[in-house]
Structure 1
């Protein structure tokens, strides 16, 4: 996938992806089964190691909230899963198939990368295009959709995030929450099975963040999309998460339910982090 173009799909939709050879791959993982599995991921930038032997699983229909200090490895993991960063070592599997191994993407990656969407804090909407063109650009270029087909899908995606009336609005005419929902709609255009969200509510007021949370919950419940969400907002994390993953110095120190992580964990670093960001 590319950073500025939407990629993706969803569990309730069919949407197989055409490969360069004409073959198609349909996602087979069901609700509660592993969609993504990463083992032994390592990544360094110069002398700084940001991921150390990271083992990570995501289940279809779950929201996994990833927390930890800045620089602890959270966003690097998302970017590795999205194909925007290559780990130095380790293996990544998607729907039971190896998509990264021996420091490179396997041929299977090209068959599944369109099922993965990433949404950024900065929205990455093209300011000179209206919402419709922002949404239809990638499907027309990557999937060869006609203008009419892409527009129909744009209308459906906007309806899913409560933005139908903004089809022809420019990003500058939207509020922060509306821009973030438009970014989610753009990711939905590629019909993702996996949504990777990096600090998407950090610039939003609590009521607007709650709206975005409502959209993500609806997508995971109605479409079966797996969501990984990096955030520093502990209230948002506790409401959103099916699983909480706490990164500390490049390692996953805690992987637990929200109740276990926030109320019953004996991990000193997690307690210190939660106390620091709450107050």
Structure 2
């Protein structure tokens, strides 16, 4: 573990009578790739959304880069200062079809960071270059493949210059070779930019290749937190073994 980037303690979250997170403690180091696996509805995506500020836990605390950003049921004043350092990428890309790549890339930074058009365009070129998509600056999303759209979505998140990238099932709709390309992008960003990545996936082959740490959620709790080699080859947790056998690569 390097420098602690995320430290979440005692997170609890319910939707109606359904308990999604049960006293979850979760941490990440700067520059690590943490892969989160588990059944649908086990709490994986809710954890990412809580870290990203898209949903608030009912209880618990979240610290980011040494600053408490959530406690006592609400975001603290420090959240406004660090929010832009947390980027999130979704399975559905969420690209505006009527805009070209440049427009999709620059919309949020111009509004949230108050960048000028030229500053945002310059930053977009750099971000697209980091994911191998610089030549698609003026392309429309409909002209791109699924893997290319996912790369643009990653580049768009990089526009905010995050320290942490949260990825929710970003390879589930991609063929294995294309998913491998996306993994290469994430690894390069980790190596060159020191970016930390938390990634939810049901693809065990992807998880085994990507993860520095592997977290297994079971019924709203973190049941296993270890290396991928230990998780897939030596873990004695019966729920993890059952889950992996059901989706074994």
TM-score range normalised by the length of the shorter chain? over 0.9
Q: Indicate whether 1:191 and 2:180 are aligned.
A: no
**2:131 — aligned with what?**
161
**1:17 — aligned with what?**
none
**1:229 — aligned with what?**
199
**1:252 — aligned with what?**
222
C-alpha distance in structure 1 between counterparts of 2:139 and 2:116, whole Å: 21
Once the two structures are superposed, what CA deviation does each residue of 1:179-217 show, in whole Å capped at 9, x if it has no partner?
Answer: 000000000000010000000000000000000000000
Q: How far did residue 277 of structure 1 move?
A: 1.1
Aligned counterpart for 1:55 among listed residues 8, 18, 25: 25
Which consecutive residues of structure 1, in runs of 5 or more, have no partner in the other structure? Answer: 1-30
Counterparts of residues 106-145 of structure 1 (less than 5 Å): 106-145=76-115
**1:92 — aligned with what?**
62
**1:32 — aligned with what?**
2
C-alpha distance in structure 2 between counterparts of 1:215 and 1:237, whole Å: 15
Once the two structures are superposed, what CA deviation does each residue of 1:146-165 show, in whole Å capped at 9, x if it has no partner?
Answer: 11111011000000000011
Q: Secondary structure at the match of 1:118?
A: strand
Aligned counterpart for 2:176 among listed residues 206, 209, 216: 206
Aligned counterpart for 2:231 among listed residues 261, 266, 278: 261
Count of paired positions: 249
Q: How far did residue 32 of structure 1 move?
A: 1.2
Q: How far did residue 240 of structure 1 move?
A: 0.1
**1:14 — aligned with what?**
none
Length-normalised TM-score, structure 1: 0.88
C-alpha distance in structure 1 between counterparts of 2:116 and 2:55, whole Å: 31
Q: How far did residue 136 of structure 1 move?
A: 0.6
Runs of 4+ residues deviating >2 angstroms: none
Length-normalised TM-score, structure 2: 0.99
**2:247 — aligned with what?**
277
Q: Indicate whether 1:74 and 2:44 are aligned.
A: yes
Superposition CA RMSD, Å: 0.8
Q: Secondary structure at the match of 2:150?
A: helix
C-alpha distance in structure 2 between counterparts of 1:54 and 1:141, whole Å: 34
Which consecutive residues of structure 2, in runs of 5 or more, have no partner in the other structure? Answer: none
Q: How far did residue 96 of structure 1 move?
A: 1.0
Q: How far did residue 278 of structure 1 move?
A: 1.8
Once the two structures are superposed, what CA deviation does each residue of 1:111-158 show, in whole Å capped at 9, x if it has no partner?
Answer: 000000000000000111000000011111111111111101100000
Q: How far did residue 97 of structure 1 move?
A: 1.1
Q: How far did residue 263 of structure 1 move?
A: 0.5
Q: Secondary structure at the match of 1:278?
A: coil
C-alpha distance in structure 2 between counterparts of 1:159 and 1:138, whole Å: 19
Q: How far did residue 86 of structure 1 move?
A: 0.5
